[in-house]
Amino acid sequence: MNDQAVAEDPRIVRTKRDVIEAVTALLLDEGWDAVTHAAVAARSGYAKGTVYAHWPSRLDLVRAAIEHICDAADHPAPTGDLRADLRTALLDFATDLTERRLDRLLAGVVERSGHGEVMRSLRHRLYETGTSGLRAILAEHLDPDDIAPALAQLTGAVLVRVTYEGEPATEDFVDDLIRRVLQSSE
């Protein structure tokens, strides 16, 4: 049997899906330290040997979970109204940080990003995935030179508000932020 046939075996596909979902849940619910082969095996219902066979290291497990999160990411569809689209996208971003626990994931990636190319790559992938919707909205309305600074101001303010200050990014906060950022880019 060739590698192509093995990779398409529905049992292997199901096993990988179940294990990656278990890793993702552990990572988001309990944090980086909770992701061990034993914990993943227990949560997924598969043997530890099975988990090791497909993901030999903890980093392999974490990488699979982050890729899964990024592949499943979606952003609100833009309407063409800059302020309304930014508002919707930023509130969605804030919800992802708090309710989906992506704040925990981002903190772990940032903390470990100096530990090799894989972590730097994952940090970049998370950033690009997380900001792609906002970037597209801004690209439709701002000069190209203004996109990166506006994106940094918008996402940075929401990150600080939610993660460092521990406060919600309310509609009033987001509306004021958008007003200030757009005012500075006019």
R_g (Cα) of the chain, nearest Å? 19
Residues of the chain below pLDDT 70: 1-7, 185-186
Residues 76-184, CATH architecture: Orthogonal Bundle (1.10)
Please name which of 157, 151, 156 lies closest in space to residue 173, comparing C-alpha atoms. 157
pLDDT at 54: 94
Cα distances (angstroms) measured from residue 62 to each of 1, 73, 115, 134, 179: 30, 16, 14, 26, 38
Tell me the CATH class for 3-69. Answer: mainly alpha
pLDDT at 104: 81
pLDDT at 155: 95
pLDDT at 185: 67
Map out the domains of the chain as residue ranges: 3-69, 76-184
CA distance 93 to 98: 9
Same fold, 3-69 and 76-184: yes
CB within 8 A of 44, min separation 6: which ones? 18, 19, 21, 22, 23, 51
pLDDT at 46: 95
Residue-wise pLDDT for 146-173, tens only, equals 999 999 999 999 999 998 898 999 999 9
